[in-house]
Amino acid sequence: MTPVAVSAITVSTALGGGLAAQREALRQGRSGLRRNDFGSAPRLGWIGRVEGVETTTLPPALADQECRNNRLAWLGLQQDGFLDRVYAARERHGARRLALLLGTSTASIGATEEAYRRLDSDGRFPADLRRPAVHTPHSLAAFVAAVLALEGPSLTVSTACSSSAKVFASAARLLALDLADAAVVGGVDSLCDNVLFGFNALELISPAACRPFDADRDGISIGEAAGFALLERIDAAPRAPRLLGYGEASDAWHMSAPHPDGHGAERALDAAMARAGLDATQVDYVNLHGTASRANDEMEAALLARRFPATTRASSTKGFTGHTLGAAGIVEAAIALQAIEQGFVPGNIGTSTPDPACGAQFAWQGEERLVDVALSHSFGFGGNNACLLFGRAP
Amino acid sequence: MTALDVYVEGIGLWSPQLGNFAALRERLAGATPDSASPPVATLLPANERRRAPECVRLAMEVAGQALAASGYDPTTLACVFASAYGDQAITDVICATLARAPTELSPTRFHHSVHNAPAGYWTIATGCRAPSSAVSAGACTFGAALLEATALALAERRPVLLACSDTAGHGPLAEMTRCAHAFGCALLLAPAAGANAQARLRLRVADDGTAPTPAPVLLAGEAAGNPSAAALPLLALLATQADSCRIGLSATTDLRVTVEPLA
């Protein structure tokens, strides 16, 4: 495929707001996870909670879109000068030529949960939550379209934990077909009872901070995050790092467990490599999906071991941020791009006894290292897999 | 503005009054078809069919109809499942459980609640290992999903199954979604005309404000109260083999679609 320039990117996670906060924590090996202090009792496990979401306020004109997820989106949009980059692109190309493609798994379901906790005496939503704009999966993209005043195509992708990786693929297709000159992609997922108790019901929540690829790993820690990137054709940003390839594939196996042989994940990987015209020996760093669930990490460790040489370095960063679900794709795309820009491979923190299935590729601690090509894995419920390959501008 | 040409090789449709695309044709010809029987989703194994939520059965029913007409192999067929609201019945019961006794949330309900549950069920039932997606765009879900599916078909030169469906609202949430009845449709879109091509669609992103074409008066009952029914003006053109329409693409833009019959 024709590579696409990633001309701006920002993410906010439990590590802090913006790229500098991510860089600092990743270098220090400092986790953003904490004991669960969010939502309804009992508060199970550990979480990756973003500081400052409660005190963030939306402009009065957007009050009908008020909810935790949109506050987190607003907080995220303010970082790293991202708004100015989008405004400049809008100026350059025209608002109708900017597409908006955002991933989320639960959008603002937290607001719907709250309405059900506070039903009025007639069994209706309380008056302050009778706002259809927040009781829909498209609430995030509609909010961000309003904030950025974009007038091009706009879409929510909601494929669980691959959502905000797949938006890069959709955007690349719109640019290739000249349906847009630039695209804002990304995703936001925020803490809510739905995911905390849902993953608990599946017995997938670790009682402690998650330990990706540990022999004794016992589940995930859920996090929240907001992230956005601006994608343009290379001539608009020739020096920016690039999306070199994407791959998408389905497991055809199970709604809530990956195929044990990882064939869907591997098909997505093969498709990304083929589009980029690269082979595994040319991949310097893999940011793994690495949720710390028994099943994912077993499948993914085997995939890594059979496909990559030891010179490829790999880590899951879920021990830093928690599993940010529909936002994991954009968060880990940003970490992969930072690895290229900073020459630093983050460590796979949280793990004390590596699973024997893990090969020599694992960077258990952070490593200084030149990274020209970085890969990000995102695998979701329903057997939905996406891989993204990023590279330095030549 | 770039025009996108894509070929329709299969059409699926289900509403409480219209059980398939042929019933829509009859309705537009002045007949009053009998009420449709509930969506069957024949591609689901019988035990899965009993367990699968209504929202999954509806999406699989219309997708299965479009697939059957096309003759494509589902194992390699990319698919895009669209819904404005996802599974409203599951959302209702999950939110009610979370408000009452959160630790009693059912694991099955939770994994059914993901927006890509229909895509997951479809890929599992048909053995599809191709790319699959699940998308949403409020009132413009059909238009935005049509563009997404067409872009996938043309950029990757592969056929794409698009299904767009919403079920009726449930519980207190229904006052917000105002979804009064179920509606689903599906289009099998191909980058080049195959043996079963029924029509060519020419898509353009409009360069003026939004003014979607209303559904024909005969379909007013189907059109009201379900965002996926935004597909009806286009489905009506495919049934009557003529002309062009505008489908909402976003809050500020439409998709202009011209239908050219081939058969």
For A:57-96, CB contacts with B below 8 A are 95-96
User: What mean pLDDT do residues A191-207 have?
Assistant: 98
Q: Where are the beta strands (DSSP E) in chain A?
A: 4-13, 16-17, 34-35, 46-48, 98-103, 154-157, 182-189, 222-223, 225-232, 242-250, 285-288, 313-316, 344-345, 367-368, 373-380, 384-391
Q: Which of B94, B86, B84, B100 is nearest to A194 (CA)?
A: B94
- Domain range for B96 is 8-197
Q: How far apart are CA B114 and CA B119, in angstroms?
A: 10
For residue B156, tell me if it sits in a domain. Answer: yes
User: Inter-chain contact B119–A382, Cβ cutoff 8 Å?
Assistant: yes
Q: Strand A16-17 to strand A4-13: parallel, antiparallel, or no bridges (unpaired)?
A: antiparallel
DSSP of A324-363: -GGGHHHHHHHHHHHHHHHTEEPP-TT-SSB-TT--TTB-
Residue B154 sits in a domain of what CATH number? Answer: 3.40.47.10
**Res A372: pLDDT:** 98
**Res A392: pLDDT:** 98
pTM above 0.90, yes or no: yes
Residues written for chain A: 394
User: Inter-chain contact B138–A136, Cβ cutoff 8 Å?
Assistant: yes
Percent with pLDDT over 70 in chain A: 100
**Res B51: pLDDT:** 85
Q: Where are the beta strands (DSSP E) in A161-212?
A: 182-189
For B:112-131, CB contacts with A below 8 A are 112-117, 119-121, 123-124, 126-131
> Reduced to 3 states, what is the DSSP secondary structure of residue A276?
helix
User: Inter-chain contact A253–B128, Cβ cutoff 8 Å?
Assistant: no
Residue A55 sits in a domain of what CATH number? Answer: 3.40.47.10
- Domain range for A248 is 4-391
- Nearest residue, CB atoms, B253 vs list A151, A157, A170: A151
**Res B47: pLDDT:** 84
In this prediction, residue A357 has a pLDDT band, given cuts at 50, 70 and 90, of: very high
Q: How far apart are CA A177 and CA B209, in angstroms?
A: 22
In terms of CA atoms, which chain B residue is nearest residue A192? Answer: B98
Q: Name chain A contacts of B134, Cβ cutoff 8 Å.
A: 157-159, 382, 384
Q: How far apart are CA A264 and CA B129, in angstroms?
A: 7
Rounded to a whole number of angstroms, the distance from the CA of A386 to the nearest CA of chain B is: 9
Q: Is the model's pLDDT at A244 over the cut of 70?
A: yes
User: What mean pLDDT do residues A99-104 have?
Assistant: 98
Cβ pair A296, A386 in contact under 8 A: no
Give the total number of structural domains in chain B: 1
Q: How far apart are CA B167 and CA B71, in angstroms?
A: 27
Segment A43-85, tens digit of pLDDT: 999 999 999 999 999 999 999 999 999 999 999 999 999 999 9
Q: What are phi and psi of A331, to 5 degrees?
A: -60, -45
User: Inter-chain contact B110–A199, Cβ cutoff 8 Å?
Assistant: yes
Give the total number of structural domains in chain A: 1
Q: Name chain A contacts of B107, Cβ cutoff 8 Å.
A: 198, 201-203, 256
Segment A282-328, tens digit of pLDDT: 999 999 999 999 999 999 999 999 999 999 999 999 999 999 999 99
User: Inter-chain contact B116–A201, Cβ cutoff 8 Å?
Assistant: no
- Nearest residue, CB atoms, A136 vs list B84, B156, B205: B84
A93 included as an active-site residue:
no
Chain B interface includes A6 (CB < 8 A): no
Q: Strand A4-13 to strand A225-232: parallel, antiparallel, or no bridges (unpaired)?
A: antiparallel
User: Inter-chain contact A156–B106, Cβ cutoff 8 Å?
Assistant: no
A161 included as an active-site residue:
yes
Q: How far apart are CA B132 and CA B156, in angstroms?
A: 13
ipTM above 0.95, yes or no: yes
Per-position pLDDT tens, chain B of length 263: 689 999 999 999 999 999 999 999 999 999 887 888 889 888 998 888 888 999 999 999 999 999 999 999 999 999 999 999 999 999 999 999 999 999 999 999 999 999 999 999 999 999 999 999 999 999 999 999 999 999 999 999 999 999 999 999 999 999 999 999 999 999 999 999 998 999 999 999 999 889 999 999 999 888 889 999 999 999 999 998 779 999 999 999 999 999 998 86
Q: Is the model's pLDDT at A119 over the cut of 80?
A: yes
